Chains A and B, each alone.
Chain A
Amino acid sequence: MKKYLSLIFKDLIIMKNNLPFTALIIVGVPLLFLTMNPMGTGLAAFSMTYILALYMTLQSLAYYESKYRKAENILNAAPYSRRGIVLSRYIFSVLVYVVCLVFYVILSLAIPRLERLGAAEAAVAFFIGSLMTGVLQPLTYRFGIEKTRYINMAVMIGVGVGFPYFVKAVAGGKISLALLGGLSPVTTICLALVLSLVILAASAAVSVSVYKKKEF
């Protein structure tokens, strides 16, 4: 456990220069949604915040690791396991979600106009982020940030920008989610969390397999 915490702390240290910008996203995006579209906060605002913060985090870490590629020599020569190095990144991505959620809840309590997030909505947002992490992380480990830069950006834009419009379309009745509409909040939460964990676990397994074979 201590080694995982050390590795998460490592990621924080590496991306320290980007932390202020990430903090700005976490606080600023919900407020931006509020000013641009007072009726479109809640799930849309939070999911956008989380996606952007997650993208910023994962991309900046991949950028620094690519820029200082030789640093992986000393990291892997130290008593850190390759499995631990990869898994800690996934844990870190979950921590990003937790931080985004905490700040959104605080903001929504402080600003009444900011729509509060329900538990089911929070779970769905986690699912979206897990999907993004689950797809992008193995690709980044396998091909590196340079080759996956445009894929990463496309996925982030597609999910981050498309999803709020999707939510708006559902709310406006343009898209029907009759099947999902029949699910209780508890079922939605359980389904979202289980699917998220399955996606993250499968993705982590692939990433570990790729990283274990990497040569420095």
Chain B
Amino acid sequence: MQNAIEVANLKKSYGGFCLNDISFTVPDNCITGFIGANGAGKSTTIKSILRLIRADGGSVRFWGMEFEGHEREIKDRIGVVIDDGSFYDHLTMAQMKNIIAPAYSAWDEGAFKANMEIFSLNPRQKISTLSKGMRAKYALALALSHNADLLIMDEPTSGLDPVVRREFMNIILDFMKKDGKSVLFSTHIVSDLERVADMLLLIHEGSIVFEQEKDALLDEHRVVKGKRTEMTEECRKLFLSLSETDYGFEGITKNAAQIKRFCPSAVVERATLEDIMLAYVGGKRE
């Protein structure tokens, strides 16, 4: 199975921040969630991949091809959604489309019109009058209207209400029904990915913390809650993050079975993605 994106040793430095040798892959036929806190490096990574900013080192390949010599061919196959869309707000949606559409060799006007209807968007409406949700949907409509094989989305659901976010996820799932499609979706709203992601990448302070299948990740990690009296120093070391009060403790762990031997009365629950992310990036022992 070919990878849609292969990133190797990507480096980028700004004043007080740098990407530290980022390496990961986005497999074909997968939705890869790219999660991390604000300022972790998600947007920097995505912009480096798209050549919107110049990386200081490393390589990026799309379907085995480097950008040099294949830039147009690669970009032709990628649909991009950045923030809530990056548009000339004084234009109508139809006018903005007329700027973008000619760039793509496989632009499908019929698909664009259909998407606009599905999203209940009027092409003659000015972009400046759109709500955040409508802008996000319009950006997605553009990205889905040129038979892209890969969708790269940088925080597309940021600031959207749960109803619109659910709608957005459903559209992405529909996109994935066709063979050979891939999605790289960056967000700090981890719950959005819980339903749709196949793979997860966590970035923190410019470094990849983990790259793993979502189901495996959720299977590995557990929330353990128990009595403070049963906690020992040896047991503490088994937690990724731990919060203790005078009466009890609660923590995230990959070693639930071992902890149960120390704390027989402890309750073990499934961890959410948010729990797991917080354990890795904000893990604390109190």
Binding site for B on A (CB under 8 A): 2-3, 5-6, 9-10, 13-14, 16-17, 64, 68, 70-81, 213, 215-216
Size of interface on B: residues with Cβ below 8 Å to A: 30
Cα distance A85–B18 in the bound complex, in angstroms: 29
Top 6 closest A-B pairs, CB basis? A6-B102, A70-B86, A78-B103, A73-B86, A79-B75, A77-B80
* Neighbouring B residues of A77 by C-beta, 8 Å: 50, 52, 75, 78, 80, 82
* Neighbouring A residues of B72 by C-beta, 8 Å: 79, 81
Q: How far is the CB of A1 from chain B (nearest CB, A)?
A: 12
What are 30 pairs between A and B in contact, CB < 8 Å? Answer: A3-B103, A6-B99, A9-B98, A9-B102, A16-B91, A16-B95, A68-B89, A68-B90, A70-B82, A71-B87, A71-B88, A72-B86, A73-B82, A74-B86, A74-B142, A76-B51, A79-B71, A79-B72, A79-B76, A79-B103, A79-B104, A81-B71, A81-B72, A213-B54, A215-B47, A215-B52, A215-B53, A215-B54, A216-B47, A216-B53
Taking A76-B52, A79-B104 as given, write out 4 further A-B residue pairs in contact, using a Cβ cutoff of 8 Å, ordered by the A residue number.
A3-B103, A16-B91, A68-B89, A79-B105
Q: How far is the CB of B80 from chain A (nearest CB, A)?
A: 4
Instruction: Judge if B206 is at the interface, Cβ distance under 8 Å.
Output: no
Residues 58-96 of B, flagged 1 when their CB comes within 8 A of A and 0 if not, give 000000000000011001101010110111111100010
By the criterion CB–CB under 8 Å, are A78 and B90 in contact?
A: no
Instruction: Judge if B100 is at the interface, Cβ distance under 8 Å.
Output: yes
Q: Which of B177-197 contact A (CB under 8 A)?
A: none
* Neighbouring A residues of B89 by C-beta, 8 Å: 68
Interface of A is mostly: helix
Cα distance A64–B91 in the bound complex, in angstroms: 11
Cα distance A17–B95 in the bound complex, in angstroms: 13
- Tally the A-B contacts, defined by beta carbons under 8 Å: 82
Binding site for A on B (CB under 8 A): 47, 50-54, 71-72, 75-76, 78, 80, 82-83, 85-91, 95, 98-100, 102-105, 142
Q: Which residue of B lies closest to A79 (CB)?
A: B75
